[in-house]
Chains A and B, each alone.
Chain A
């Protein structure tokens, strides 16, 4: 099963729609400096680095070497890992694998993005098949909108149901100094925001953000020496799928359903709603907050809206979702998945400040990528057996 591994420090940069004050390397350095400070480690303590972003957003394809001054990777082992939207969580998994292998004791994982440097849709189209998919491609937004259309058809859910998710996440972001958007929105404001891709309106969608996140993974031998409250990686599972845009199952999020099933079994979890204390979920649009909670086993099919309307997933509810404000409040894509992991670690380490879920001992982070693949990492206070 590999060595046990814990997160011992995290860092996040100022997240803004445009960080004109830094180039990509400088942004990476900002996150790295904060993570090292959080863990009270120096660059020399790091044994290996894993870094990722979605290259087409910045058009600089050798980020592992280009950023080596600021990432701390100068003359160290470093590799780039990139898996679309799941880049951040896959980077976390790669960081974990490095330490779990027993070959590296302290591993720095970095996720970053400067979404302001390109036209997001024009860039994202390059991820798709040039001959069969690009000619009619309707953007990442279009794919998510099509998901929403079918979910409403299958379950009778409404646009208002989805809008309640935005209201929750934007309210949660008020507690998070690292969030990009820190302004509440009302249900009416969501419903009245401009239609982007029917049925998705502007406020159903995540923002575009410049930002970076860094997380330090440490093996079981060294983790307790670095911090008295390490956040242990309890388990991680991912399932990726997609050859062409329309290949995934459009009836339910198959990758998430399967990945969570495998993870829960591995952890002996029977009632995720009760057994997790919080979840930080890569939900890039509001409908995910009602649909994909079903694929996580938190509600029966069609039961997602009820879960959200009842306040179960609000701060103070039985299972707070996205205490950080989530992806609807902040989305520097290459960083986003890693931020979910970092936020879970922050909670477990008791460093959550105003967004702390009291007594958090088990948290779940998810990553999502178009087309509809999923990463999961569970982080907890208890060292795995």
Chain B
């Protein structure tokens, strides 16, 4: 009687295809403001007057180019959130993200869209939709989204 066939798998190994992404004018403005001024800025659509953060070149709904940079206070409220219990590899560090961590969807004051980042409170019992939050910046900044370390809840 024949043995069942041995079925193999081949791994891709650890090598990763690297990329170098040009971020464009408006994202460069955003990241430089984080790095140099510890400040979050958005951009306003001349058609619908909505403010988007981070800034982008075109308001998709209006299909209109935007140019008016709008500084924001860095404060806002929680539109929604989740607390993750599973770790996955952080693309920035290449290491597993420590858990638990809270992924927050934030309405920054003065902006009309939603900003994603971390909130440092990880107990779901202590989080509420509508809670006020405030950005906290790293001391050493490099022009990266994680120049914002996280948001903290504001009592």
Given contacts A20-B7, A150-B79, 7 further A-B contacts (CB under 8 A): A121-B86, A131-B21, A136-B103, A136-B116, A138-B84, A198-B83, A250-B105
Q: B42 CB to closest chain A CB, in angstroms?
A: 13
4 tightest Cβ-Cβ pairs between the two chains A and B = A138-B103, A145-B82, A246-B114, A150-B80
Decide: A246 and B115 in contact? CB cutoff 8 A. yes
Least CB separation from B115: chain A residue? A246
Among the listed A132, A141, A149, A200, which residue makes an inter-chain contact with B81, where contact means beta carbons less than 8 Å apart?
A: A149
User: In the assembly, what is the distance between CA of A344 and CA of B21, in Å?
Assistant: 43
Among the listed A20, A148, A199, which residue makes an inter-chain contact with B9, where contact means beta carbons less than 8 Å apart?
A: A20
A-B contacts, 17 listed (Cβ < 8 Å): A121-B88, A131-B145, A135-B145, A135-B146, A136-B117, A137-B103, A138-B101, A138-B103, A142-B82, A146-B81, A149-B81, A198-B82, A200-B82, A245-B116, A246-B79, A247-B113, A250-B80
For the complex, count residues of A whose C-beta is within 8 A of B: 39
Residues of B within 8 Å of A119, CB to CB, are 88-89
Provide the B82-121 mask, 1 if CB < 8 A to any CB of A, else 0.
Answer: 1111101111100000000101010000000111111000
Given the known inter-chain contacts A21-B7, A131-B23, A146-B103, please indicate yes or no for A247 contacting B114, CB distance below 8 A. Answer: yes
- Cβ of A384 under 8 Å from chain B: no
Seen from chain A, the residues whose Cβ lies within 8 Å of a Cβ on chain B are: 20-21, 59, 119, 121-122, 125, 130-139, 141-142, 145-150, 153, 194-200, 243-247, 250
Given the known inter-chain contacts A135-B145, A153-B80, please indicate yes or no for A130 contacting B19, CB distance below 8 A. Answer: yes
Decide: A197 and B84 in contact? CB cutoff 8 A. yes
User: In the assembly, what is the distance between CA of A200 and CA of B82, in Å?
Assistant: 9
User: In the assembly, what is the distance between CA of A131 and CA of B84, in Å?
Assistant: 21
- Cβ of B65 under 8 Å from chain A: no
- Cβ of B56 under 8 Å from chain A: yes
In the complex, how many residue pairs between chain A and chain B have their CB atoms under 8 Å apart? 108
Given the known inter-chain contacts A130-B21, A136-B145, please indicate yes or no for A149 contacting B82, CB distance below 8 A. Answer: yes
Residues of B within 8 Å of A147, CB to CB, are 80
Residues of B within 8 Å of A243, CB to CB, are 56, 60
- Cβ of B77 under 8 Å from chain A: no
Residues of B within 8 Å of A145, CB to CB, are 82, 84
Provide the B6-37 mask, 1 if CB < 8 A to any CB of A, else 0.
Answer: 01010010000001010100010001000000
Decide: B103 and A142 in contact? CB cutoff 8 A. yes
Given the known inter-chain contacts A20-B9, A132-B145, please indicate yes or no for A139 contacting B105, CB distance below 8 A. Answer: no
Decide: A194 and B89 in contact? CB cutoff 8 A. no
Provide the B50-68 mask, 1 if CB < 8 A to any CB of A, else 0.
Answer: 0000101000100000000
Q: B147 CB to closest chain A CB, in angstroms?
A: 10
Q: A248 CB to closest chain B CB, in angstroms?
A: 9
Residues of A within 8 Å of B144, CB to CB, are 135
